[in-house]
């Protein structure tokens, strides 16, 4: 039996988004990873975007699209990466508009509702995800 994704909630508060951003940036800094970190609210609008020193310019759009994908589908972007890697019908994902199938995007869930999402880009996808997860871990 498949589980339904969480409902959308009110947009994430700026203070909460800042807390997530600080924790994500701290994780990237600890590892000396130049990252771009994007946080969107539950309406899909960009709330915070930070490009750390020496982060590649291409990661600006990628981080934001990872966050938007995680929000729009209420699941980690790794789910799409894994589906494509598995082949078969999962390859259909490449034809979906505005879906970035790279690990590093996570929905932000508060009280069981999706209030936003974080997307991180700049290193390998699993490292991007590590930074995103560190941000979410700040919520407790």
Mean pLDDT, 10 residues at a time, the chain of 140 residues: 85 97 98 98 97 98 98 96 92 90 97 97 98 96
Residue 7 included in any domain: no
Q: Cα–Cα distance between 60 and 38 in angstroms, integer?
A: 8
Residue 87 included in any domain: yes
Given this model, what pLDDT does residue 140 score? 87
Given this model, what pLDDT does residue 4 score? 86
Residue 117 included in any domain: yes
Cβ atoms of 119 and 65 within 8 Å: the answer is yes
Q: Cα–Cα distance between 126 and 140 in angstroms, integer?
A: 21
Residue 3 included in any domain: no
> Is beta strand 46-51 parallel, antiparallel or unpaired with respect to 36-41?
antiparallel
| 109: CB partners within 8 A, 6+ apart | 6, 115
Given this model, what pLDDT does residue 90 score? 86
Residue 121 included in any domain: yes
Q: Percent helix, strand and coil across the chain, each rounded to 5?
A: 45, 20, 35
Is pTM, for the whole model, over 0.85? yes
Residue 49 included in any domain: yes
Cβ atoms of 36 and 123 within 8 Å: the answer is no
CATH of the domain at 72: 3.30.450.150
In the chain, the number of structural domains is 1
Given this model, what pLDDT does residue 7 score? 96
Given this model, what pLDDT does residue 63 score? 98
Given this model, what pLDDT does residue 82 score? 94
Cβ atoms of 60 and 51 within 8 Å: the answer is yes
Give the domain range for residue 67.
32-137
């Amino acid at each position: 039996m498949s589980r339904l994704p969480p409902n959308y909630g009110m947009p994430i508060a700026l203070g909460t988004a800042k807390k997530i951003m600080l924790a994500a940036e701290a994780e990237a800094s600890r590892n000396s990873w130049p990252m771009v970190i994007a946080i969107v609210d539950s309406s899909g609008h960009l709330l915070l975007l930070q490009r750390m020193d020496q982060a590649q310019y291409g990661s600006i759009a990628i981080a934001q699209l990872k966050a938007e994908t995680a929000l729009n589908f209420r699941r980690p972007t790794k789910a799409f990466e894994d589906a494509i890697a598995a082949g078969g019908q999962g390859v259909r994902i490449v034809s979906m508009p505005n879906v970035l199938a790279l690990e590093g995007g996570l929905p932000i869930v508060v009280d069981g509702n999706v209030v936003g999402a974080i997307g991180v880009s700049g290193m390998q996808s699993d490292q991007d995800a590590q930074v995103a997860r560190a941000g979410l871990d700040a919520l407790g």
